[in-house]
Amino acid sequence: MTGWEIENPGENLLSVNDKNLKAFMKAYPLSALSPDGTKLLIIRKYHPTLNCSPDDPNNLSDSYRICLAYYTISTYFFFELPRNYHYNMLSVRYDQDIQDIAITISSREMTRVTNIKELFLKLESYAPKTEVEKEAAFESLNNEVPPQKKRVPITQTEVSSAIIGVLKNADFDDWWVSEPQKIDFLDNVEMNFTITDYNPNEDENFMDEADETIRNFLSKTLKDREATTAPVYQNCMDFLDAIGYDEADQHLWDIKDPQEIWNYVTPREIYVTREPYEDKGVYLRLTFSCEWEQEHGLQLVFNKSGKLVRVNEDDGHILGWQGHGMIGD
């Protein structure tokens, strides 16, 4: 087994006692489920640059990364582990001392106990690390909890935007959804805006920045969409080149005018959120289903001033790891 046998692990977490997930975990010792069944961890090999297995038939690679994947029902992250260890066991337990799950990562060389907060602090994958740096970070894991600012409870059930009106509390206490809005950029398709990871009792400047971001996006027209065609078309061509020729993709290979690429995408969601790891700015993610990348889809990321800054598969992140998908000046 490779650890990639479960196609959409987050979806498996939605079902209590999912039979496929239980069978996978029984057969694959480098996987573990939190006691409450809401968090899944898997150690597995990754393609050196893509978010898939190096054994993926469409993206075969002789080199690879070792990563610890972390899934919840709605999110997915991965942490790069050093390659020089022979990992043989992964387990999770609730730790009363840290009030969170403790994660035990075992290898023939050493065993380390850690937690999600410590992993984000020491092994987050947004800034590339050398193998030496990854080894040092892994060896330093000791299940310590980084100092955390106490979270202020969210008491509101709605928030207000000067641009798109009232947004109501959604599936999570820090998610907020608007009424449908006409999007000129998409030829007047109506879509909801979803603000994510926003606590109105903590981030006082967020709505002002979000309104600026939304206003600049809503001012865009079909002409502006035409100006974004080149990187979208290039994303398609790069993906087709990476997976190799498939007769089923012939209609995409046959595109003569790059503007035709918009015939093969379907708008999905609009998210507005603050980037949590690097510049901490507010960004808008416009996501699509697309015919060439049917698993992950496509996303366009706009900054506060309305500039397109990233075009890539919908990986759920704002800024690109190692510059992946970023648009240069």
What are the beta bridge partners of residue 73? Answer: none
Percent of the chain with pLDDT over 70: 98
Q: Enter the tokens of residue 15.
A: 């079902």
Q: Are strands 76-81 and 87-95 parallel, antiparallel or unpaired?
A: unpaired
d(C-alpha 315, C-alpha 194), whole Å: 17
Residue 244 makes CB contacts below 8 A (sequence gap 6+) with 58
Which pLDDT score, from 0 to 100, does residue 172 have?
A: 86
Q: Which residue has the higher pLDDT, 141 or 60?
A: 141
Q: Give strand ranges (E) for 213-318.
A: 265-274, 282-290, 298-302, 308-312
Q: Tokens 């603050």 sit at which residue? A: 274
Q: Rounded to the nearest 5 degrees, what angle is found at the Cα of 215, between the Cα atoms of 186 and 310?
A: 60
Mean residue pLDDT of the chain comes to 91
Residue 147 has pLDDT above 70, yes or no: yes
Report whether pLDDT(131) > 60: yes
How is 138-174 classified by DSSP, letter by letter? HHT---PPPP-PPPPPP--SEEEETTTEEEEE-SSTT
Q: Which residues contact 110 (CB under 8 A, 6 or more apart)?
A: 85, 139
Output the pLDDT for position 326. 87
Q: What is the distance between the alpha carbons of residues 314 and 323, in angstroms, rounded to a whole number?
A: 15
Q: What 8-state DSSP symbol labels residue 35? A: T
Helix or strand holding residue 206 (H, E): helix 206-218
Q: In the predicted model, is pLDDT for residue 39 greater than 80?
A: yes
Instruction: Compute the average pLDDT of residues 286-305.
Output: 94
